[in-house]
Structure 1
């Protein structure tokens, strides 16, 4: 495969995309966003780089987006009372001193990355009409947000939307007894308690929580492209992915929803993990 990086600008901020061009392109492109509570993550984490490489090996071109991250103001709310330890891990703090910004910067950058991918599809060995958007966790939010933004704008829209353990609600629907039992004993950070989610939401949205491009759930979803949603089984955010899938169906949008058994939130960050590879293969079949 051929890997390149391109500098772009949108939302008043410079950003970049990393492209993965297959040796034997199958004609599809996925504009992909990593997760990280809108505050963390980069193009080198497995959720970004491994996904890009594995899809490209299977013939899918990938445009991985290094979107502008939100400020780190929510970190105190994520820390457990006793501080960070082996039983309550947090993602490593980014070393970069790059500028940070709240909504709508990252959302606008994803839409711009989609436009760039459409314009450069031929160079990636793909067709302009087969450019999809996708992402994991907060990146799934950005993918859904971009699909809504592009629908509202008119013109070329994504061929489909692919979401993995996404967060799509301002307030995640309540857990049931089955999921509550699965979450028991997990590190506090991975159970997404209400206080932490509120801090993440407020930090990213910057006072715009009611904007449909911030958290798409609960808004008008009619006219969105077909969606493929994969939820981790032991994941508080599974209720967001499942609830959003139901809303899409009620809005007349074709949607496929899968529960990846035996997984927790963030499993795409397991290098070479079996579940991660299964997700890549599901995506390949969908995009093909």
Structure 2
């Protein structure tokens, strides 16, 4: 996947919470698909220059995909692995990043987006880790027509062609492990593990409280998932968050949504942020195939209306 002739430009949108920066990666020979992408970082870290944003976008653009990478606002920093830690510093809470990702999709898939040669039905939505939660939650917003004020001038925003999630956060509380996963998680070093208490603290920091989310768009796991677009999930192998990705895939299938789920062999959480690892290249190839090959994708199904 080459980057020769790749065009990269930063755009500043008049977003729902102020200026919203989006970095657009345009392939040299015209786009066959578009992707709005949200990096990860526990809702509080990450930027457009990290490999999970920049390397992913460059790689996919080399396969003919125009990528709009979203610089969404971040939650306050928190040492979520330490019990009782308090946030230190400024930041935003839900629903700000969720609304920004949905707004960016509405812009990209609209008439003023970065690839006018693409129809609205050729745009995808995706993200990694916490960005996967933002993308999945935004897909629920789009299904329900709950886009932020100002998006597309109030016009109906189309559903994404599909959703691509890499080792996503999906549930407010981490689902239970199956024995195979439990054994792999138990062998992880502390810095690569995500205990259930740490996940709850991270998610509580995103919400701004420890109670129920109060909105189906905060964490898509356990919500009404009917009518969502086809979804492709790439999980890391040795990763506690795989429990959520696999549970979410099962919930999508039970809701009648076309879904494919892959466990990238030998990887740990965040493997797209480590381009030198072979699992990163394999996952990029899988994602590129899904974005550019309709035969692998499936279709959006019932219900006919988008409001639940």
Same fold (TM over 0.5): yes
Q: Does 1:139 align with 2:131?
A: yes
Q: How does 1:5-20 map to 2 (within 5 A)?
A: 5-20=10-25
Q: Deviations over 1:147-187 (max 9, x none)?
A: 00011116411110000100101111111222122123423
Answer whether contact 1:190 1:265 (CA < 8 A) is retained. Answer: yes
Rounded Cα–Cα distance in structure 2 between residues aligned with 1:78 and 1:263: 21
* CA distance, structure 2, for counterparts of residue 124 and residue 277 of structure 1: 29
Q: Secondary structure at the match of 1:78?
A: coil
Mapping of 1:8-157 within 5 angstroms? Answer: 8-72=13-77, 74-75=78-79, 77-79=80-82, 100-119=91-110, 120-121=112-113, 123=115, 125-153=117-145, 155-157=157-159
Of 268, 272, 276, 1:268 maps to 272
Cα 1:52–1:25 shift into 2, 3 Å: same
Residue 217 of structure 2, aligned match among 208, 213, 218: 213
Write out per-residue CA displacement over residues 26-70 of structure 1, whole angstroms, 9 at most, x where no aligned residue.
420010010010000000000000000000111111000010001
On the 8 A contact 2:236/2:264 being kept in 1, the answer is yes
2:66–2:115 CA contact under 8 A, matched in 1: no
Moved over 3 A (4+): 120-125
**Contact conserved, 1:61 with 1:124, CA < 8 A, in 2?**
no
Asked whether the 8 Å contact 1:35–1:139 carries over to 2, the reply is yes
Helix, strand or coil for the counterpart of 1:174? coil
**Structure 1: where are the runs of 5+ without partners?**
82-96
User: Once the 2 structures are TM-superposed, how far is the Cα of residue 126 of structure 1 from its aligned partner?
Assistant: 2.9
Shift in alpha-carbon separation, 1:282–1:25, aligned structure 2, 3 A: farther
Residue 78 of structure 1 contacts residue 189 of structure 1 at CA under 8 Å; is this kept in 2? Answer: no
Residue 227 of structure 2 corresponds to residue 223 of structure 1: yes
Superimposed CA distance per residue, residues 179-237 of structure 1 (whole angstroms, 9 cap, x where no aligned partner): 12212342324221122112111110124613110111111000100000111110101
Given that 1:42 and 1:66 are in contact with CA atoms closer than 8 Å, whether structure 2 keeps it comes out as yes
Q: Distance in 2 between matches of 1:200 and 1:159?
A: 30
Q: Give 1:284 deviation, angstroms.
A: 1.4
In 2, Cα distance between the equivalents of 1:3 and 1:127? 21
1:131-151 deviations in Å (ceiling 9; x for gaps): 110000000000000100011
2:261 to 232, 257, 260: 257
**Partner of 1:85 in structure 2?**
none
Q: What residue in structure 2 maps to residue 202 of structure 1?
A: 204
Deviation at 1:79, TM superposition (A): 4.3
TM-aligned CA deviation for residue 121 of structure 1: 4.5
**CA distance change for structure 1 residues 155 and 121 in 2, over 3 Å: closer, same or farther?**
closer
Displacement of 1:124 in angstroms is 6.2
Count of aligned pairs:
270
Matching of residue 241 in structure 1 with residue 233 in structure 2: no
Task: Give the TM-score normalised by structure 1.
Answer: 0.89
